[in-house]
């Protein structure tokens, strides 16, 4: 009777399986040894080349400026006057502060990395003899990172001896040119807010003029009324009136006329005050438009906030009216505040080399290439065995 596979003792089957595993491993090692030169040349040599390239290539250097951020504040709080197109009197919540930080972060990054600003920066670098750096200017060479509490400006480049000059040019652009964009937007917003205020004043003044004419007509007619008969006026009546201007019809005629006269005087004075306010706002618009025109005419060039500050101080002598002089002086102080905010925590940070990590990069390259060449070696062996004639 032929014995079946199930009749073979388990101990013998286990030995046979172990023997087959050992034969497979020996075959694997045989393939690796046979293709050892291919594997070594395909993994070690490229990894060595990577190491040499990274180790002996020119080093990159970096210099980092750290600033305290103002991103949790509305730009208008730093720049604008009391006139704001949008007034939010509610208490800021944690979510609204986070939204404001993110909004200001996006605005600042967009301004700094805009084509207009990068072109100005590149032109400035070329003027100082850094043509090569100006050509490769990008987010990888100039890194602006913003958190809720700190703003970090990192300039990367080479050679090391030029980094102080290059970084000072980039720093000047960030500290002196970028704020001009915020000033320009703030002036436009202020002008729009003033025009809205003037439109409201005009609308209220029209209503006041109509009310004034109505009061004068009433007063004229009341003065033409015949005086009341004193014998017909009831006595012993005490009138308790909270608001005479709204309830003057209950007073005797003489007192009614006096109340309307007082009301007319009040309306006339209100019109006078609002007209003065209107004229003041109109003068403020002219002043702010002059400031805005200065920025619009100069921002095509490398115009700094320090130059704008000098323009403001030179203007002060042109305004003799106290209100406009005070406004211009206060606005100049706000510009000085912006200048002081854009100052790094450390005035002169040091230049430091950027670690290349040549050993790490070459080790990773070796590991990847070793796996690839080993796989190729087994594939070549399989193809060779398949193509070999059967013995």
Q: How many residues are listed for the chain in this entry?
A: 391
Question: Which tokens in the block code for residue 42?
Answer: 């395909």
Encode burial over 11-34: b for 16+ CB neighbours within 10 A, e otherwise.
eeeeeeeeeeeeeeeeeeeebeee
C-alpha triplet 85, 91, 94: angle, nearest 5°:
110
Q: Is the predicted pLDDT of residue 16 greater than 60, yes or no?
A: no
- Of 334 and 8, which is predicted with more confidence? 334
**Segment 230-265, tens digit of pLDDT:** 665 555 544 455 555 555 655 667 777 788 888 888
Confidence label for 279 from pLDDT (cuts 50, 70 and 90): very high
pLDDT of residue 371: 87
Encode burial over 223-251: b for 16+ CB neighbours within 10 A, e otherwise.
eeeeeeeeeeeeeeeeeeeeebeeebeee
Instruction: Output the furthest CA–CA distance in the chain (Å, rounded).
Output: 154
Closest of 154, 164, 138, 176 to residue 339, by C-alpha: 176
Q: Is the predicted pLDDT of residue 83 greater than 50, yes or no?
A: no
Please state the pTM of the whole predicted model: 0.65
Closest of 141, 274, 136 to residue 197, by C-alpha: 274
- Of 27 and 206, which is predicted with more confidence? 206
Tell me what the pLDDT averaged over the chain comes to. Answer: 79
Coil/strand/helix, residue 84? coil
Q: Which residues pair with 144 in a beta bridge?
A: 153
Alpha carbon distance 183, 295 (integer Å): 8
- Of 295 and 69, which is predicted with more confidence? 295
Supply the DSSP symbol for 360: H
């Amino acid at each position: 009777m032929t014995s079946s596979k199930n009749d073979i003792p388990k101990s013998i089957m286990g030995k046979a399986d172990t023997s087959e595993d050992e034969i497979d491993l020996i075959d694997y090692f045989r393939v690796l040894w046979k293709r050892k030169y291919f594997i070594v040349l395909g993994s070690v040599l490229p990894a060595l080349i990577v190491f040499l390239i990274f180790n002996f290539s020119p080093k990159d250097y970096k210099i980092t400026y750290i600033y305290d951020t103002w991103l949790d504040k509305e730009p208008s709080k730093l720049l604008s006057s009391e006139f704001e197109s949008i007034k939010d009197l509610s208490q800021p919540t944690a979510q609204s502060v986070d939204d404001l930080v993110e909004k200001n972060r996006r605005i600042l990054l967009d301004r700094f990395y805009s084509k207009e600003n990068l072109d100005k920066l590149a032109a400035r670098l070329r003027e100082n003899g850094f043509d090569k750096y100006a050509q490769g200017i990008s987010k990888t060479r100039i890194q602006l990172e913003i958190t809720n509490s700190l703003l970090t400006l990192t300039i990367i480049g080479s050679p090391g001896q030029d980094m102080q000059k290059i970084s000072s040019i980039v720093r000047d652009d960030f500290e002196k040119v970028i704020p001009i964009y915020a000033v320009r937007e703030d002036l436009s917003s202020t002008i729009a807010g003033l025009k809205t205020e003037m439109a409201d004043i005009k609308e209220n003044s029209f209503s006041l003029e109509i009310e004034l004419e109505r009061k004068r007509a009433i007063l004229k007619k009341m003065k033409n009324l015949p005086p009341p008969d004193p014998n017909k006026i009831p006595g012993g009546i005490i009138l308790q009136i909270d608001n005479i201007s709204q309830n003057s019809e209950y007073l005797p005629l003489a007192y009614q006329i006096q109340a309307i006269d007082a009301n007319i005087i009040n309306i006339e004075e209100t019109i006078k005050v609002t007209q003065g306010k209107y004229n003041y706002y109109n003068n403020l618009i002219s002043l702010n438009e002059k400031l805005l025109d200065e920025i619009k005419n100069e921002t095509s060039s490398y115009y700094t906030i320090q130059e704008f500050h000098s323009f403001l101080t030179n203007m002060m002598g042109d305004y003799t009216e106290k209100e406009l002089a005070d406004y211009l002086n206060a606005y100049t102080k706000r510009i000085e505040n912006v200048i002081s905010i854009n100052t790094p925590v450390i005035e002169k940070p040091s230049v430091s080399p950027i670690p290349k990590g040549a050993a790490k990069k070459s080790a990773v390259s070796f590991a990847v290439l070793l796996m690839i060449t080993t796989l190729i070696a087994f594939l070549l062996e399989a193809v060779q065995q398949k193509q070999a004639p059967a013995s």
